[in-house]
Amino acid sequence: MRILIAGTTYYPAINGQAIFTANLAEGMARRGHQVFVATQYDPKQPGNSTHNRVEIYRAPAISLERLYAEAYVSLFPKAFLRELFEEIKPEVVHIQDHSPIGLACLSLAEKNNIPAVFTSHFVPKNYTAQVKWLDRLGFISEPVLWLWAWLAYRRVKYATAQSDYAVRMLREHGVRGHICKVSCGIDVEHFSVLDGFNKKLWQQKYDVDTGARLLLFLGRVDRDKNLGVLIEAIQKVKADGVVNESFQLLVAGKGNALEDMQQLAKNLELDNEVRFLGYVPIEDLPELYHLADLFIMPSEVELLSISTVQAMASCLPVLAARRGALPELVTEGGNGDLFDGQDVNDVARAISEVLAKPEAWSQMGEESRERAQVHSMEAAMDGYEQIYRRLANGQKSC
């Protein structure tokens, strides 16, 4: 089957949508399908290329560096995409966002009677948290952003969503067609089984406190992730003195808020308690998870959270915000704890309570790994392959 996957971001970009799209494209290619990706210019990977049997086509784009680092947009991609459609003749089109590239592919699919399926990775907070003037508009910006999304959603006949929460979001904001829930998928075994793991070596590589309990956050270091609240909670746990053992928060990732978060930690005198690792290569992630004792995700806008599922597959107890899709991954008293991501006191409470019972971590970790199984890459690829076949065969439901 000839499958075209379209969206603004793709490998080698490091974000949830790019990781999911690359996993999906390469997974379908391994299953023998011809897979093409339509995305936009990336200075790290200029021009068209082939990676892991996936043919990648990049439309010209302009830089949005003043709004967000490493951001680009292809404003008028339709001519570029029209030629691509004529060349590859896709049997199914899978759209990842309502960007100009996504909308142009949707129009071309409609014009050529090619079945299209839509997966949304959109949450307005992801935009307003990065662009200050949007954030200042407050109550105006989010409705306008949702209207922009609705103009695409109302045209969608088939959609997929990563979680029950994501399904509800699509329904609430305009999708009236068929919606199938399919997880993003991760390689569970890749994260759960490590041969010859040398903890001391990895402690040295990332210069962590060898005598401390390690909490790990991994993701974009941007304001929508609520890292400011988390860092303030770390300061409160330290000040309260209820945790007898030393502990350290590892912040892995980069983003627009990195310097602000570093300054906040410095102002709160948390030089020993908060360690910023910066960008961590994908190949180091399994070892990084196994280096940690606990994983924490304070973001309240996750449609799934790939890093949280990876941490679960790595047998880590998880502390997470009680909003978005995270309560579908974490059970209080089961594989971790939930907290109010806007409440410093509640975040500190959850950290203190779980740090105080290390004897329960092993059982929590086992439950995390068991819950991660439903998000396996194999299950996700099975789900999407079935959807593509049904749509290509003219069936009216995905």
Alpha carbon of residue 27 to chain centroid: 18
175 occurs within a structural domain: yes
My answer on whether 16 and 162 are in the same domain is: yes
My answer on whether 244 and 116 are in the same domain is: no
Position 136 confidence tier, pLDDT thresholds 50, 70, 90: low
pTM of the entire structure? Answer: 0.92
My answer on whether 157 and 246 are in the same domain is: no
My answer on whether 290 and 257 are in the same domain is: yes
Structure tokens of 249? Answer: 């928060």
Distance CA 132, CA 130 (A): 6
Interval 3-44: pLDDT, tens: 999 999 998 887 889 999 999 999 999 999 999 999 988 776
My answer on whether 203 and 330 are in the same domain is: yes
Position 375 confidence tier, pLDDT thresholds 50, 70, 90: very high
3-state DSSP call for residue 91?
A: coil
333 occurs within a structural domain: yes
Structure tokens of 82? Answer: 């029209």
Over range 343-351, report the average pLDDT: 98
257 occurs within a structural domain: yes
| Cis amide linkage into residue 12, ω under 30° from 0 | yes
Domain range for 126 = 2-185+376-392
397 occurs within a structural domain: no
141 occurs within a structural domain: yes
My answer on whether 228 and 350 are in the same domain is: yes
My answer on whether 14 and 137 are in the same domain is: yes
398 occurs within a structural domain: no
2 close to 36: Cβ distance less than 8 angstroms: yes
Which CATH number does the domain housing residue 116 bear? 3.40.50.2000
Position 139 confidence tier, pLDDT thresholds 50, 70, 90: low
Over range 87-101, report the average pLDDT: 96
What pLDDT does residue 173 have? Answer: 87
Interval 45-55: pLDDT, tens: 668 899 999 99
Distance CA 179, CA 398 (A): 7
My answer on whether 331 and 314 are in the same domain is: yes
Interval 291-323: pLDDT, tens: 999 999 999 999 999 999 999 999 999 999 999
Structure tokens of 85? Answer: 């459609």
DSSP string, 203-262: HHHTT--TTSEEEEEES--SGGGTHHHHHHHHHHHHHH----S-EEEEEE---TTHHHHH
My answer on whether 180 and 251 are in the same domain is: no
Position 260 confidence tier, pLDDT thresholds 50, 70, 90: very high
243 occurs within a structural domain: yes
Residue 123's nearest CA partner among 180, 172, 77, 169 is 169
> How many domains does the chain divide into?
2
Distance CA 229, CA 249 (A): 13
My answer on whether 159 and 254 are in the same domain is: no
My answer on whether 142 and 108 are in the same domain is: yes
My answer on whether 168 and 212 are in the same domain is: no
Q: How many CB atoms lie within 10 A of CB 240?
A: 12
Instruction: Specify whether the backbone of 185 is left (phi greater than 0), alpha (psi in -120 to 50) or beta.
Output: left
Q: What is the dihedral angle through the alpha carbons of 325, 68, 344, 249, rounded to the nearest 10 degrees? A: 90
Over range 216-237, report the average pLDDT: 96
92 occurs within a structural domain: yes
**Bridge partners of residue 215, in order along the sequence:** 249, 294
Position 124 confidence tier, pLDDT thresholds 50, 70, 90: confident
Distance CA 114, CA 111 (A): 8
